[in-house]
Each structure stands twice: as C-alpha cells, then as structure tokens.
Structure 1
C-alpha cells in the first residue's frame, strides 16, 4: 500500500491522541467507578452497610448512562462538556463523554467482581472484628483483585472503541483519521491501517490484562 507523505505524521499524531484519551479517560473513570462499584456492593440487600435508597439511586443512574449509545451521549452532553473544558470539540473535550460512558460501566463491572468473592471471606473478616472499611480494603478488594484486573481490561477495550467513535464528532484520534480521510475521501488503505491498528491495540491490552490477572491468581 502506498501512502502520501502527510499520512504517517498524521497517523502517529492520531495514535498519540488515542493513547491520551484512553489513558486519561481510564484513570478518571476508575477514580469514579471503583468507589461507586464498592458502594453498590456494601449498600445492597444483605450488604455490609445495607441502604436500599442509596443502592437503588445509584443503580438507576448507572442503568441510564449504560442505556444511552455513546454517539448519542457525546451530542447530548455538549453543553456539559463545554462547561467542563471550555469547548465541545477536540481530544480533551472527548474525554468528558468517554468518562461518563466508561465510569458507570466500570462501576457495574467492579460490582460483579466483588460479588464473586465468597461470603466466607466477609464472615471471617467480621469474626476478626474488622470494621466495614477494613473488610473492604483488606479482605474484599484483595480477594477480587484478579477479577477486577480482567474487568478493567474489558473496560479499557471498550474505551478504545469509544475513543475511535469520538472521531465522528471531531474528537481526534484513530477514529477521526479513519473517518476524515478513509471514509470521507474513499481512501481504503487508510481505513485498513486504522482498523489493523485498533485490532493490535485491543490484542495488546487483552494480553497484558490476562498476564497480570494470571500473576495475581498465582501469588
């Protein structure tokens, strides 16, 4: 495949923008999603700090954000995005909907991971006189760590896909390159390169996630 001289600089810029969106978006999403996932577990019926009102409110909010397709979410929260970062266009602006899309998804994944922990672990912690915070930090999270790593791997892959979709509204990154030049200008070779790049990124993330989770299970 032959490419014009401008392509490779644009290509590597797009990759940097994608890494930026995924890395920053993932960090912020974990900071938001992890505590929400923990709260869902401890406030559910029979939880350490059972509170049906908190659980139901959070559950509804998560379901609302998870029900909205990402491409619609981007457009729907344009005023909020503009309020947060001062603009609704560009790579930094794309991080706002990416975080809202991913954080609540991570919360649900964390909830599922923590629910996989055997009840005997919690009972042991309580028998030792551990406080709810100590039970969460020293027993619940360590026991679920391998599952949490795999959950975050899934979330990261979803975030890569969403970041590519952000290109449809000028979010930058690989998706923007594919749409602007590959789709709009009918350059099939650019579409092929961008798709292969995304596949490689996803495979790398999945492999690294599997490796880390495997090491944690063995330790």
Structure 2
C-alpha cells in the first residue's frame, strides 16, 4: 500500500495541502471583508434596528439568501466568466478563490448578523441616549460585544470553505480535492483518497480548535 506513496506523490500532496490552505485563507479573509458590512447592515436595518428600513433589509437579505441557497457546484460553473475576467483562467488555485469568496461572503454575513442580534438592546439604547452616532454604536457597542460570536461565525465559515475547496477540485480548482479526484478516483488509488480525507479532517479539526480557543479567550476577556 505505502509503496505507492513515492517522493514525487508526497511532494504533490504537500503542494496540494498548501494550495488548500491558501484557497481557504484568502477566500475566508475576503469573504469576511464582504460579510462583515453586510451582516452589520442587515442588523441595523432590521426591525428595531438603529437604521430600521424594512424594504432595504428585505432587498439585501434576498440577495444574500439567493447566493447562500445556490449549490456551490452550480456557483462554480455560473461564475466562470467572472473568474476568467478576474484571474485570466477558470482553473487553478487563484481561479477557485473567486467562487469560494462569493460563497463565503453571504454565509458569513448571516452568521455575523445572528451574532449582532445577541447584543443586549439595552446597551444600544444607552448609547443612543448619550447621543452616540450610528458609527459609534457599531464600532463601540455592537462589534465589541458580538466579537466572540463573530469569531465563531468566521470559524464556521472557514470550515465550510474547506469542504467547498475540495469540491472545487471537481473542475480543476487545485488543492487536496483536485489531488483526491485525479489520483484517488481517476487513477484508482483509494489509499490516496483516504489520506486526502484524513488530512482534510485534521485540517478542519485544527481550524475549529483554534477558533474555539480564540472565542474562549475573547469571552473571558469580555
């Protein structure tokens, strides 16, 4: 069994692992950059929010839900023109970051919105009574109070992106998913597929553990 793991294949597995780390890391960062303001806006314009606006909330919420409800494999194919425009190619690690980011943004937005909902409304009302502006309420009340929940939401997003990145391998997106399909499935090497699955499980466990640790630190500090 192990004789099939040549030095060349092991090097390829290492490269594929780092491709997965890059895809998840970059898409997670960009997705959070997109999702954070979306989540804040959804909370502010929601019923009882500082900037309550039912129609604006429904419009943005519908767009967010539309992307979230689209199966990722369909999203991968649907945004190929955009991917080619931004990266010059529809395959490879850089190309996979585009659909991964588009999937991560709305996903993170809803998790961040849910975290902001948990903030005590009394704190917001107290800030308003003291004349705080909307920006001050967001930066000094909502985000600091919801930070542990936001970190937990970003962790969930990264874990989900790991699964999506493996799926991106189905269309040559690179990473461990691509390696598992090309070697484990197409070349009938089940042991390679098994190792890819184990590495992905360990990677997800590491992400979740790091996120849980940071959430506990932030909650304790708060």
The two structures have a TM-score, normalised by structure 1, of 0.98
Residue of structure 2 in register with 1:96 after alignment: 98
Question: 2:7 and 2:37 mapped to 1: Cα distance?
Answer: 47
Deviation of 1:90 (Å)? 0.8
Aligned positions, number: 219
Query: Which residue of the partner structure matches residue 21 of structure 2?
Result: 19
Q: TM-score, normalised by structure 2?
A: 0.96
Deviations 1:102-133 (A, max 9, x none): 10000011000100111111112112221111
The runs of at least 4 consecutive aligned structure 1 residues that moved more than 6 Å come to none
Residue 123 of structure 1: aligned partner: 125
Q: C-alpha separation between the residues in 2 aligned to 1:35 and 1:5?
A: 46
Q: Quote the offset at 1:156 in angstroms.
A: 0.5
- For residue 4 of structure 1, report the CA deviation from its aligned partner: 2.5
Q: Map residues 182-193 of structure 1 onto 2, 5 A cutoff.
A: 182-193=184-195
Tell me how large the CA RMSD over aligned residues is. 0.9
- Per-residue deviation at 1:205? 0.6
Instruction: Return the match for 1:198 from 197, 200, 219.
Output: 200
Residues 7-156 of structure 1 aligned to structure 2 (within 5 Å): 7-156=9-158
What are structure 1's unaligned runs of at least 5 residues? none
After superposition, the C-alpha distances for 1:72-97 in whole angstroms (9 at most, x for unaligned) are: 11011111111121111111000000
Partner of 1:164: 166
Structure 2 unaligned runs (5+)?
none
Once the two structures are superposed, residues 46-82 of structure 1 have per-residue CA deviations (whole angstroms, 9 ceiling, x without a partner) of 2101122221111111111111110111011111111
